[in-house]
Homo-oligomer: A and B are copies of this chain.
Amino acid sequence: MTAMPATDRAGLSRAERRKAETRREIIDAAFACFAERGYHATGIADIAARLGMGHGTFYRYFENKRDIVEHVITDLVERILGALGAENAPEAVDTLEDYRQQSARIGEALASIFGSDLRMPRLLLEAPGIDQAMSDRMLELFDTTAQFTAAYLDHGVRLGYLRADLDVRATAHAINGMILGSVLAALRDPDPERQHRLGAAIRAVMYDGIAAR
């Protein structure tokens, strides 16, 4: 017999696990509220009401409104980056054809993530309107993801299947811009068929250019 509470595999006591679960639920509820009505139109009471809990309870889990949106965004970004980084890696590719296929897989993964729940891109789109700090964070996120893309490009240049004179950093921003463009287009018209054509168009621009032969 010991006074120490039983812990699970992650070393968390029952209470800690419950607390983590509730935080998870609040993050999800807040995500839903923010995405549906927007950050400024959402009250803490809305988030609590969605979970059927008292609004005072919210403050047992998060400091304040700004705190929760920070966690919501962080969670969202992690989900996106996690889904992206999961099965792909720059080093996994040797030839242009492989790269093209990898691009397609990444594009499909992105389409799957965003397409599965349009609230995700919708919230990302609204995020810069929260405040200056969040706006900066979103710009930083765009830059960060461009670095991911740059890593892929860099690998291709080194292996010789991408142009040697590629301005890797700038091109990465351009490519990510195309992806962003397709996401915005999807928000207006979430037709899967159209998403597919957007992905194809992006790859066509990347590999074939737009000029006639």
Residues of A within 8 A of B (CB): 37-41, 96, 122, 125-132, 135, 138-140, 142-143, 146, 153, 156, 160-164, 166-167, 169-171, 173-182, 184-185, 187-188, 194, 197-198, 200-202, 204-213
Indicate if the CB atoms of A129 and B211 lie closer than 8 Å.
no
Chain copies in the assembly?
4
> Which residues does chain B contribute within 8 Å of A167, judged by CB atoms?
197, 200-201, 204
> Which residues does chain B contribute within 8 Å of A201, judged by CB atoms?
167, 170-171, 173-174
30 CB-based A-B contacts, threshold 8 Å: A38-B131, A38-B135, A39-B129, A40-B131, A125-B128, A125-B135, A127-B129, A128-B128, A142-B184, A142-B185, A162-B212, A163-B210, A164-B212, A169-B197, A170-B197, A170-B200, A171-B204, A173-B184, A173-B198, A174-B198, A174-B205, A175-B178, A175-B205, A176-B181, A177-B180, A178-B181, A180-B184, A205-B205, A206-B211, A207-B209
Residue in B closest to A170 when the chains form the complex, CB atoms: B201
> Which residues does chain B contribute within 8 Å of A175, judged by CB atoms?
178, 181, 205, 210
The main secondary structure of chain A at its interface with chain B is: helix
Indicate if the CB atoms of B177 and A139 lie closer than 8 Å.
no
Among A135, A179, A201, residue most surrounded by chain B Cβ atoms (within 10 Å): A201
Complexed CA–CA distance, A177 and B79 (Å)? 23
Among A127, A146, A185, residue most surrounded by chain B Cβ atoms (within 10 Å): A185
Indicate if the CB atoms of A135 and B162 lie closer than 8 Å.
no
Q: Which residue of B37, B127, B139 is within 8 Å of A187 (Cβ)?
A: B139
Indicate if the CB atoms of A184 and B188 lie closer than 8 Å.
no
Residue in B closest to A183 when the chains form the complex, CB atoms: B177
> Which residues does chain B contribute within 8 Å of A135, judged by CB atoms?
38, 122, 125-126
Q: Which residue of B41, B125, B142 is within 8 Å of A131 (Cβ)?
A: B41
Indicate if the CB atoms of B129 and A162 lie closer than 8 Å.
no
